A and B are shown apart, each in its own frame.
Chain A
Amino acid sequence: MSVAAATPAASAARPVSAGRWMTIAIVVVLCVWVLLPIYLIAVNALSAPAEVTGWPKRFYPSFDFGSIEFFIQFRGVARALMNSVIVAVLTMTLAIGLGAPAGYALARFRFRGKESFRLLVLMTRAFPLPLLALPLAVLFIRTGLDDSRIGLALVHTTLALPFAILITFSLFLSIPYELEEAAFTLGCTRLQAFRKVVLPLALPGIAASGVFAFVTSWNEVFAAAVLTIQNKTLTAFLLQSLDYSPLPLKFAGGAVLVIPALVFLFAVRKYLFSLWGIANR
């Protein structure tokens, strides 16, 4: 120990091994690989429509909002954006509202049927969920939910619910039951203990799983395309207009799809990573 402490300058000057340089190089390359395409579509979004269709392209944006204006003013886009937001918010609410109590029950109680419930939840993740959109299309027609935002939100909740349950499950597991018991001895009913002790501690994680549900809904393409006609979401709109939409529209739309999700995920990245990692075990 003393030798190392005595020569800090010497250890700082130690040459970095070749292997380390290669690792750093790989890391940088991969980071660029991830970030560059996002940067490029942002460039397109922030350039005039003529530049977007022109060639060769410049690699930096000209900060001309022409493409974005074109995009927003295109017939049906504003409405589609609104629909995406509404459906995503509905999904988020439903996923948390249904998932958090279920996650709590799984974490706290020992009871029969627990294993089969866990199995059911796991199975739903293994099933190609967009395929559920097909029969639900029929069901929705019969129940009048066809082409409705709440209908699509219900499908998206099916996508997001298993995750919400698993995330809240591991979240509540990490909050020691002893804390609730302490609250019981200090005068709380079950509900009061949950509200005053568990909820404040779980809120960040619950919010994170809510954001995840929001992003899942925002990004979903297949079900949205199959189930909505008048009330199209942004993804459905972009997909169905692929054949005829001009490039500036496509790219501005792509940028709009990407940026909000990135911002949201950045805000909750701490929780999402540890929770997703655990949930995926």
Chain B
Amino acid sequence: MESRRLPYLLLLPATLFLVVFFVYPFVQVAFQAFTKGGGFTLDNFHEMVSDWKFTTALRNTLLLAVVIVPLQLALALTMASIVTRLKAGRDVVLYIWTIPLGISDLAAGLVWLAIFERNGFFNSLLANLGLMSEPTIWLGYQNKITLFAVVVMAELWRSTAIVLVVLVAGMGLIPKEYYEAAEVFGAGPWKRFIKVTLPLLKPSIQTALILRTILAFEVFAVVAALAGTNMPILMGEVYEWQFALQDRKVAAAYALVILAISIGFTLFFLFTLRTRDEARA
């Protein structure tokens, strides 16, 4: 009943596919970014860096990531703790909390646009409460801080579920006996969380952080929907150069910058959050 070749045959289509659509493009992006007119050059990177939007885009993207990801981690940890302890209604709550997973980032941007645009629901609420007679502009060019805050809010809303799912799966793997033992030794709920949950959850936290951070540097449609061109971000610049300005090479340069940052942070998390094999549950 053993055909030596069968497993390889089954894997062949998928492997071929991934090689063609992953390895090849990766090589291509590198090629595009480092060449111009047929020769190796760093011109594309110079052009990218000297563009006035580069630093802004880089700063905005990093800022967003640095603010959003920790907030999400804390929020997701709280949500995961609560939901794993729920008995009745756990399925319902879990489904509701993971709804954002099915929502496009563009749709998320539009959803929050509906709330915070000039004639949106937020201003309407404030008007109904009598706090405002004229609508305030939250998302305009002049209001960089509120614009940032709304983008953060929208991203929190949209993508916390990604972290949540990984954490809940990880928590499900922690045997109850650990908590019971800690309780017998007198540890209260907070202490149990710090001493039992968090350490055993480290691999899941690591996975969640890596995944989420990489996605954070790709933030695109949410910002486009809410801020248009008022808030340059790296992915937005990739789109601009590729599509509007028709300069594939600078776009590729931007792409490599995003890739480099992603790899950097991935390595960082892999290193700082690694669990020694003996310590694993």
Q: Does A23 contact B (CB under 8 A)?
A: yes
Q: Once bound together, how far apart are the Cα atoms of A136 and B123, in whole Å?
A: 43
Cβ B13 vs Cβ A98 within 8 A: yes
A149 within 8 A of B: no
Chain A's nearest CB lies how many Å from the CB of B173? 8
A162 proximity list for chain B (CB < 8 A): 18
Which of A132, A218, A257, A278 lies in contact with B21, CB distance below 8 A? A132
A128 within 8 A of B: yes
**B11 on interface, CB distance cutoff 8 Å:** yes
Contact of B25 among A35, A139, A257 (CB under 8 A): A139
* B22 adjacent to A127 (CB under 8 Å): yes
B contacts with A: majority SS: helix
Tell which of A108, A128, A132, A239 touches B221, judged by Cβ atoms closer than 8 Å.
A239
- Is there an interface contact between A254 and B111, defined as CB atoms closer than 8 Å? yes
Q: How far is the CB of B137 from chain A (nearest CB, A)?
A: 12
Q: Taking the complex as formed, is A199 at the interface, i.e. its CB lies under 8 A from any CB of chain B?
A: no
Q: CA–CA, A196 to B103, complex, Å?
A: 36
Within 8 A of A (CB), among B108-122: 110-115, 117-121
Q: Is B179 an interface residue (CB 8 A)?
A: no
Q: Specify which of A128, A225, A253 is in contact with B258 (CB 8 Å cutoff).
A: A128
How far apart sit A264 and B28, CA to CA, in the bound complex (Å)? Answer: 36
Q: How far is the CA of A184 from the CA of B1 in the complex (A)?
A: 9
Q: Is B24 interfacial (CB-CB < 8 Å)?
A: yes
A107 to chain B, nearest CB (A): 10
- Report chain A residues within 8 Å CB of B169: 276-278, 280-281
Report which B residues bind A (CB closer than 8 A): 1, 3-4, 6-8, 10-11, 13-15, 17-18, 21-22, 24-26, 28-29, 31-32, 78-79, 82, 85-86, 93-107, 110-115, 117-121, 123-125, 127-128, 135, 157, 165-166, 168-170, 172-173, 203-204, 207-208, 210-211, 214, 217-218, 220-221, 224-225, 228, 235, 238-239, 242-243, 248, 251-252, 255, 258-259, 262, 266
Can you add 4 more A-B contacts, CB < 8 Å, to A31-B97, A158-B22, A276-B165?
Answer: A26-B82, A131-B25, A250-B110, A251-B114
Using a CB–CB cutoff of 8 Å, the interface residues on chain A facing chain B are 23, 26-27, 30-31, 33-35, 37-38, 40-41, 44, 53-59, 97-99, 101-102, 104-106, 108-109, 111, 113-114, 117, 120-121, 124-128, 130-132, 134-139, 154-155, 157-158, 161-162, 165, 184, 190, 215, 218-222, 225-226, 235, 238-239, 242-243, 247, 250-251, 253-254, 257-258, 261-262, 264-266, 269, 273, 276-278, 280-281
